[in-house]
Amino acid sequence: MKKILSLFIFIFATIYAHAQCEDHILETLKQTKVSYFQYVSEGGNANIYISYPFAGTTYKAIDDATGTEYTAVNSPLVNTMVIPVGVVNSARTFTLKMENGTCSVTHSEKPYIRPHAAPYLAIRMQNEWCASSGAIFFEMIGTGVNASDYNYYIKKENETHYNPTLLNPSEGVTNFISGKYIIKAVLKNPPHTEYEQVGNILPFDRKIEFDLKTFGGVCDNRPSIKVNVKKGAYPLWYSVYDKTGTTLIRPDQLSPVFEGLDPKTEYKVFVKDFCSVGGGNAENKNIITVDNQFKIWGVSTEGNWAGGLFLATHNDKQRCPTSMRIDYRFKGQNLKLQLPNRIPLPMRIEYTLTSPSGKTYSDDLQINTMDEFNKHIGIDQTHSLFMLYLRKFEIPNVGSSIAVEYGRWNFSANVTYCGQTINATGTANYGGLQEQLDKDSRLTTFFDVERDNQGVISDQCKEKVGIRTISSWKIHQQVYCIN
């Protein structure tokens, strides 16, 4: 009696990341190699297998119905961890999680394991990720079934005859190339019932594709190289040699970033995949490191793209300004050449802003994180400006905004980073409309002031005379305010 049932087990690679972590760890967890038997004997125990687990990673399976959590333990199988999930009396589904440091990843594949009472040949597929790395594991299951009562054979789907060599179900068959295979179990004693299953070992594109970027130093002129991987079988190892590829400069590491290298020096960077130990993929490229360094410095010029104090106003959709917008624009160097989130932290900025009336706005900013940095600082890569925002304050001693004042504003600051202190000063005049008229020849004014029916001049902006202006490049008239 022959029973044939085709079974294709696909382990999806799509996952969801729930926490920020380094890319190389995230990508390694994405490619976690998971397999399991879809059927087990009714009342029997089930396992979920992790092949070639990544060091420092905790693997968990959570029962979707009960919330019970199971953790992977070492397995007698080579390079394998197993998650025992207990007895299966009814269909069970699980959520798989991988945790490594700050990385927490949930696999999109949800193992679905069901009980089987009748005799059945169960198989577990391990897809190819290196050359000839596929595997098939198998066992006869069912109520009262003894797996040792059967002989097991294998053949390729397109082959006529089975290989006569008996297979050991406790070891499975390993080191197979991708393709379809048929496993057969034959009862040793009469009636010599046969059971077959078709398994498909899927291939994996192991080609490595990457590019290189070099970045200036942060606190010194010791540049970095970053490997940007576009394609590859993780985990990947990275190393740096001299330009000829003969002298090792940095040995294999999991991080794709090499820091503290020599400036204006040519290096050869190697990227090797997990399979390279057995003759897998290894690619290399050359790159010459840059000779630049992250720098800012204070300037004392009037505010413009050259740096210094910049003044403007917010009008909150009203005719007259209600609060000041003030930036101090430090000139910078190599700001846009740095690695993401590679600003020199911690950074301290002590500053005082003095209004024309003598009112002071001051603070001592301790910036330790990128979130704090982004709250107070902006980088204009186009003009190489490092801008300290002095608007819409959210600190108690200053209030919610800076009041509008016309006249000369002064600024002074000390910026400390990388063990050095940069002194900055700035001054700028805010003169309202008159200053705009002085600077912009396109504006033409006529002093037809607004009067009410008693002939009183309307004070559009409180304590200032309201006038109308018309520009040569706009048809409509607008109301502005001057002192």
Task: Please report, for the chain, the start and end positions of each structural domain, with discontinuous segments joined by +.
Answer: 2-201, 209-288, 295-430, 437-482
Max Cα-Cα span within the chain: 120
Residue 431: its pLDDT value, please? 67
Residue 339 confidence (pLDDT): 58
- Taking residue 422's Cβ as centre, other Cβ atoms within 10 Å add up to 16
What is the pLDDT tens value at each position of the chain, 483 positions in all?
Answer: 333 332 322 233 333 343 468 888 999 998 899 999 999 999 999 999 999 899 899 999 999 999 999 999 998 887 899 999 999 999 999 999 999 998 999 998 999 999 999 999 999 999 988 778 889 999 999 999 999 999 999 999 999 999 999 999 988 998 899 999 999 999 999 999 999 999 999 987 778 999 999 988 888 889 999 999 998 888 899 999 999 999 999 999 999 999 999 999 999 999 998 775 545 678 999 999 988 777 887 775 555 556 677 776 655 445 555 566 678 888 777 776 565 566 788 999 898 989 889 988 888 889 898 888 888 888 877 777 777 776 444 433 344 567 777 788 888 889 999 999 988 888 887 765 545 545 544 433 333 334 444 444 343 444 343 333 333 334 444 444 444
The pLDDT value recorded for residue 338 is 62
To the nearest whole number, what is the mean pLDDT of the chain? 79
Q: What is the DSSP letter of 53?
A: P
What is the DSSP code (8-state) at residue 302?
B
CATH number of 295-430: 2.60.40
Contact 153, 186 (CB under 8 A): yes
In this predicted structure, what is the pLDDT of residue 166? 95
Cβ neighbours of residue 224 closer than 8 Å, sequence gap 6 or more: 214, 215, 217, 257, 258, 259, 260, 261, 339
Buried b (16+ CB within 10 A) or exposed e, 209-235: ebebebbbbbeeeebbbbbebeebbbb
Task: Domain 209-288: give its CATH superfamily.
Answer: Immunoglobulins (2.60.40.10)
Q: What per-residue confidence (pLDDT) applies to 87?
A: 98
Sequence-ordered alpha helix ranges (H) in 131-196: none
- Judge if 209-288 and 295-430 fold alike in CATH terms: yes
